Every structure is written in C-alpha cells, then in structure tokens.
Amino acid sequence: MKSREIRLVRHFTGPVKPDYFELAEVELPEPGAGEVRVRNAFLSVDPYMRGRMIGVKTYVDPFQPGQPMDGGAVGQVVDSKADGFAPGDWVMSMHGWREGYTAPAAGLMKIDASLLPAQAYLGIAGMPGLTAYAGLKRMIGLKEGETLWMSAGAGAVGTAGIQFAKAMGAHVIATAGGPDKTAFCRSIGADAVVDYKAESDLAGALRAAAKPFGGIDAYYENVGGDHLQAALDVIKPFGRIAACGMIARYNDDTPAPGPSNLTQIVAKKLTIRGFIVTDHFDMQGEFIADLSRWIGAGQVRLHDTVYEGIERTPDAFMGLFTGANTGKMLVKL
Amino acid sequence: MKSREIRLVRHFTGPVKPDYFELAEVELPEPGAGEVRVRNAFLSVDPYMRGRMIGVKTYVDPFQPGQPMDGGAVGQVVDSKADGFAPGDWVMSMHGWREGYTAPAAGLMKIDASLLPAQAYLGIAGMPGLTAYAGLKRMIGLKEGETLWMSAGAGAVGTAGIQFAKAMGAHVIATAGGPDKTAFCRSIGADAVVDYKAESDLAGALRAAAKPFGGIDAYYENVGGDHLQAALDVIKPFGRIAACGMIARYNDDTPAPGPSNLTQIVAKKLTIRGFIVTDHFDMQGEFIADLSRWIGAGQVRLHDTVYEGIERTPDAFMGLFTGANTGKMLVKL
C-alpha cells in the first residue's frame, strides 16, 4: 500500500512559503505484531505546528527536515495485527500530513464515528474544542451572565469558544476579519461581532459592542499584538485573560514589541493565564459530557473548512495565517 | 496651630520636577465634635502617588492642583474632641504631605508605637509590607524551597519581599541598581543579587544567578520594561508573576512598547496577576501575626531611608524614581 506524505524541506522563520514543503511517496510496510496499517480520511492543520517548523525546541520538539510532519489525523484501519483493532475501525492519531501509516496500535485512540462524524474528533470534540473548553472553564472560570470577548472567533478554537460560552450562559463579543467571518460568528451565536480589519479603533469598537452587556469581564486571547493591547484597554477591573495562542506573532522574523499598556495589568488587577491544552487532558471526560449535552440540545454544531487532497495540505496550513478558514481547517483525503 | 503643607501646582506627565510642588502654610482649626488635631511625625512617599499627579482617574482619584496632596502619615494627637483619642496617642492617616491636620477621628487608625516604632506602620508593617506579603502569599503562592526573583529589591516593597520570602523558606534572587543597593539586598538576606545597571544581558545574569537553585519559579514585578522581558525569558514553565507596579513606566511621556516575548506566556503556561494592596486588607490579621513572629525571631528587620523636614518631601518623592532610597522612603518632621 502506497502513501503520499508532506515533508518539511527546511526550518524557517518569517512567512510560510510553499517551497518549504515537498510531496513524497512511500510504501507502507505490512503491520508487525501489535501494529496496524491505517488509511487516513482527514488531516488536521493547526497554528501550533508553525512553532515546530522553526527548528528550536519550544513546548514541542521541532519537525525534522526530510521527514514527514506529524499532526492530528483520523482514519480507518486497513490491516491489523493488534488485539482490539479490526479493519474498518476508526482511529485518531498524530500521524497526519500523510495518506496512511503503519504504526503500533498502542499509540492510537479508537473513536466512535457513529456518535459524531469522525472529523469532529479533530475539531470541536478534539484538541481545538478542549482548548476552548479548558480556557473558558479552568483558566477564565467563565460564569453565567458574564461577557466574554472571543478573539479569532471564526477559527477552530473561536468557533468552539463562541458556542461553548453561549451554552454556559455568557454573552459573547467576537472579533473576526472581514464580512464573511463576522457573519459566520453571528450565525453561530455571538451576541455582537467586531470586524477588526474594518476598525481603526479596535478598543473603541469593542467598548461600544460590549456596552449593552455592561462591559467585558474576560478575554480569550488567540491573537496577540493589537488585540491584546485593546483587551488591556477595555477589560473591566479584575478581568481574566486566557491565552492559548498569539497567532499574529508566529510568523515574525524578529520579535515585535508588545502592547504599550501593560501597566493596566496592575491598575485593573488583571489575571493573565497562558496554557497549552496538553496539560488539561484530565478535563476530557467532563468536556465530552458537556459537549454531548450541548450538541444534543442543538446549542453546539460542527463547522469546518475542508480542503481536498494530500497535496493541498500546505495550502490549508498557510491558509490559517491568512484567515482562509471558518471553523476548523481540515484536509479530506 | 500652624501647619506647612506641600501642594500640587499642576498636573503633568513625564519626569517629576520640583516646580510642580509648592510649600504653603495654613492655620489648623480647633477640633470640632468627633475630631482630633494631629501633629505628623513621619510622612510616606510612594510610587503610586505618581499616577495621581497626571490628572486622569486611574484606580485612585487624581490630586487637585492648589490642594495639599494625600499620603500615608503617622503622628500624635495634640487635641481631641473624639472618644477614645487622647493627646499623645499615635495615629496613622492618609493626611500626609503636611505637618498636621484637623480631621474626624473616624478616618484614623490608632497604632501601638510600643510594639514597633511608629514609622514601621508606613513601611514594613504598613502598605509596602502588606503589598509584599499579599503578592508572595496570595498572588504567587510562594512555597518553601522555591526560587523567587524580587525586582527593585532595595525598595520598600522589595526590602519587605526579600525578608518575607526568606522567612517563608524560599530562595531569593534580587535585582537592584548599583553597588550600594546590591550590597544592601545581600545584607538583608538575598541569596544572590544582580546589579541590573551593570548587566548588558539581564536575562543571562539572572539565569546564572538562579542556576544553583534550579531556576526561577516566581517573579515579583515592580519594574516593567526590560525586567518583565527578562522574567518571561528566564522563568520556568508554570511560573507565576505577581505585578504590583511597573515603576520604570510611570514617568513615560508617551507609553513605551512592552516586551517582545509575550508569547512566552503561552509557551511556558505562565500566570500573571496584577493587584493593588487595597483589595487585600482582609489579610491584615494574618500578616501582622506572621510579621510579629518573624521580627521576634530576628528574621525580619526595619530598613528606612529618612529625609528630614516637610520642605524635602518633593525631593524624597522624586528620589523614588532615581533610586535614592534603600528600604522605605520616609520624611521625618
């Protein structure tokens, strides 16, 4: 069984370019004892992967040039020499950026594709969903009746975050770039949406949007830069900020200066908590219980942007930085 | 009874200049019912007062031009028409920047000057002490065996913080500017001291200083700017930062950009908590109990810098920004 895969050509800083990736084909070996051979159906591309292309150890190891990259994937078992794994079973793995793989079954997670579509486990029921959930529940401690500003509201985490926060009984102000994305945020339940690309005064627009709800109690930080500056400006005293990413900064060649109003952290007695979803897997049970209830009640729905074909994976990844996705960005094989 | 007082001439931004203050004399009225007349013995000058000179409401109201300024003061009752207040009693008030005042006794706090010298209630046993205590205990949650970086280690909060953290069983790396202040920090118990004025690579110097203790677990932020940048750089994953001030920023004419490495908040999963001491007065009982025990055991001592005479109060205040003080800056009348 042949499998095409995307390899990293070299480490780089600055904007992502197509030349940094190459397509290659390999023959997948027969599974050995305890192994399975899997054909992937959906691949995930995520902003955090950008950090693994720089060649410096951050919170995950860098990708290696000449090797296929890793990432979330869901697929179906083709052959199995592992107990409990039969052909046709759906599995989630970190063996993404490739059409298939042969690997020990011990590193895979079986998923129930009858409960939710398989690709949901890469999005709202997967890492982006849990990221949104842990940020709102554990980092911010969002309460009913409070007002949340969700940045990057049309992204994978934002799409989950807007819906979860509404299901938790909060008011949600979302930000997104351009008329399509702002309309999308509204369609999934945001009470007010600010198009940050159309506003010269982001803080002023947020203040106006939040006025009917008495101001902003909490900020979910996905962006950094001018968004963080605006958040420090508009958030109410004792505000809480959860930061799981600052995508505006990831492609910087040289680090850009931060907001000039950090003294607001003191003046407003703010709490800022950075976090990475992998430290919050203990919430998985509680998360799936809440999510199933919310989906059952029609409060939360799935929203994906899907590119087709392994060769389009780099395009899908680059699209994350130009805002090509609404909801979770996926590649269908 | 006459009293001289320092009045604000006008609101201003940028560096503090002597012209912004003027000395005036007033006659203090006889106390009315429920009032006392008090002669101040010590006045406090504190960095937070800078914010009240700008003319914009922050977390406290601005000072008014032509009026005497407020601030912490300890003094003795001269005449009393208030129950429970007799001539000779020591009281703490916010009627500083003046030699005396007539005011309702209800707004004053009687202090026991036999337990600790009266001026201690403006420093280690007062707001700066409680600021250090609340930051370490509640904001950071400092634990025995951990390593703290205390910035502005020779200042009022820093002097308290170094001694309290040592009494709590932590290792302390202090930063201060110049050989006198670094020697002072060492003399009050800091395990290692970095002279930030002498170091071109603050983060590198901190990393080296913290190496014997396995790195820095927590940072007490008094400074902002390059100090915060260095903290984000060197602090360990899951590090906690308490921010009660950013003095390096208070005299900025136009806001300066913040650190360029804020993405470390996410990558290292840091928690940053801004706070103001007035929200933590509920800790006063616990604080005085711990402090008395530490002073009794010789683990904590008083350290003040004292200017003499009401007319020197502006100099004392300006000295806070040029680093003229070790420990708490006071004016003795």
* DSSP codes joined into one string, A27-86: EPPPP-TTEEEEEEEEEE--GGGGGGGSSS-SSSPPP-TTSBPPB-EEEEEEEE-STT--
Q: Which residues of B touch A57 (CB under 8 A)?
A: none
Task: Find the range with the poorest average confidence among A238-252, A265-279, B290-304.
Answer: A238-252
What would the two tokens of residue B14 be? 């940028």
Q: How far is CA B288 from the centre of its chain?
A: 17
Mutate which of A266, A268, A279 to test chain B, going by most B C-beta atoms within 10 A?
A: A266
**Which CATH number applies to A2-123+303-332: 1.10.357.10, 3.40.50.10240, 3.90.180.10, 3.40.50.720?**
3.90.180.10
What would the two tokens of residue B97 be? 């920047």
Q: Do A268 and B261 touch (CB under 8 A)?
A: no
Distance from CA of A311 to the nearest CA of B (A): 30
Average pLDDT over residues A246-263: 76
Q: Do B262 and A58 touch (CB under 8 A)?
A: no
Q: Which residues of A touch B264 (CB under 8 A)?
A: 274
Of chain A, the percentage scoring pLDDT greater than 90 comes to 78
Which tens digit of pLDDT belongs to each residue from B173-210? 999 999 999 999 999 999 999 999 999 999 999 999 99
Residue A289: burial class (beta carbons within 10 Å; 0-12, 13-18, 19+)? exposed
Task: Find the range with the poorest average confidence among A279-288, B17-26, B139-148, B187-196.
Answer: A279-288
Say whether residue A81 is in contact with chain B using an 8 A CB cutoff: no
Q: Do B258 and A255 touch (CB under 8 A)?
A: no
- H/E segment holding residue B290: helix B284-296
Q: Which residues pair with residue B329 across a beta bridge?
A: B305
Model confidence band, residue B251 (pLDDT cutoffs 50, 70, 90): low
Model confidence band, residue B219 (pLDDT cutoffs 50, 70, 90): very high
State the CB neighbour count (10 A cutoff) for residue A142.
25
| Domains B2-123+303-332 and B127-280+288-294 fall in the same CATH topology | no
User: For residue B245, what is the nearest residue in chain A, using CA coordinates?
Assistant: A266
Average pLDDT over residues A26-53: 95
Q: Which residue has the higher pLDDT, A264 or A116?
A: A264
Task: Find the range with the poorest average confidence among A146-150, A209-213, B256-260.
Answer: B256-260
d(C-alpha B203, C-alpha B149), whole Å: 11
Distance from CA of A272 to the nearest CA of B (A): 5
Size of interface A-B (CB pairs under 8 A): 104
- H/E segment holding residue A2: strand A2-8
Complex ipTM, two decimals?
A: 0.78
Whether the pLDDT of residue B236 is over 80: the answer is: yes
CB contact at 8 A, A148 and A165:
yes
Q: Which residues pair with residue B43 across a beta bridge?
A: B73, B331
User: For residue B236, what is the nearest residue in chain A, using CA coordinates?
Assistant: A59
Average pLDDT over residues A17-44: 97
pLDDT for the residue numbered A59: 65
CB contact at 8 A, A41 and A333:
yes
Sign of the torsion formed by the C-alpha atoms of B232, B234, B236 and B242: negative
Which tens digit of pLDDT belongs to each residue from B35-66? 999 999 999 999 889 989 988 876 678 999 99
User: For residue A240, what is the nearest residue in chain B, using CA coordinates?
Assistant: B273
Q: Do A274 and B275 touch (CB under 8 A)?
A: no
Angle at B58 between CA B57 and CA B64, to 5 degrees: 40
Question: Residue by residue, what is the 3-state secondary structure of B53-86?
Answer: HCCCCCCCCCCCCCCECCECEEEEEEEECCCCCC
Distance from CA of A18 to the nearest CA of B (A): 25
CB contact at 8 A, B170 and B144:
yes
Coil, strand or helix at B244: coil
State the CB neighbour count (10 A cutoff) for residue B63.
21
Q: Which of B224, B266, B269 shows the shortest C-beta gap to A262? A: B224
Distance from CA of A255 to the nearest CA of B (A): 5
d(C-alpha A227, C-alpha B33), whole Å: 55
Sign of the torsion formed by the C-alpha atoms of A155, A158, A163 and A164: positive
Candidates B219, B97, B212, B211; CA nearest to B158 is B219
- H/E segment holding residue B320: helix B313-322
What would the two tokens of residue B128 be? 């700066």
What would the two tokens of residue A21 be? 């990736």
Q: Which of B259, B261, B265 shows the shortest C-beta gap to A243? A: B265
* Residue corresponding to tokens 């429920």: B34
CB contact at 8 A, A114 and A121:
no
d(C-alpha B34, C-alpha A242), whole Å: 50
Answer left, alpha or beta for residue B104, where phi above 0 means left and psi between -120 and 50 means alpha.
beta
d(C-alpha A149, C-alpha A180), whole Å: 19
User: For residue A263, what is the nearest residue in chain B, using CA coordinates?
Assistant: B246
Q: Which fold has domain A127-280+288-294?
A: Rossmann fold (3.40.50)
- H/E segment holding residue B239: strand B235-243
pLDDT for the residue numbered B112: 85
State the CB neighbour count (10 A cutoff) for residue B168.
20
d(C-alpha A271, C-alpha A55), whole Å: 32
Mutate which of A262, A273, A275 to test chain B, going by most B C-beta atoms within 10 A?
A: A262
Which tens digit of pLDDT belongs to each residue from A275-309? 999 899 899 889 988 998 999 899 998 888 999 99
Say whether residue A263 is in contact with chain B using an 8 A CB cutoff: yes
d(C-alpha B250, C-alpha B14), whole Å: 8
Q: Where are the domains of chain B?
A: 2-123+303-332, 127-280+288-294
Q: Do B276 and A262 touch (CB under 8 A)?
A: no
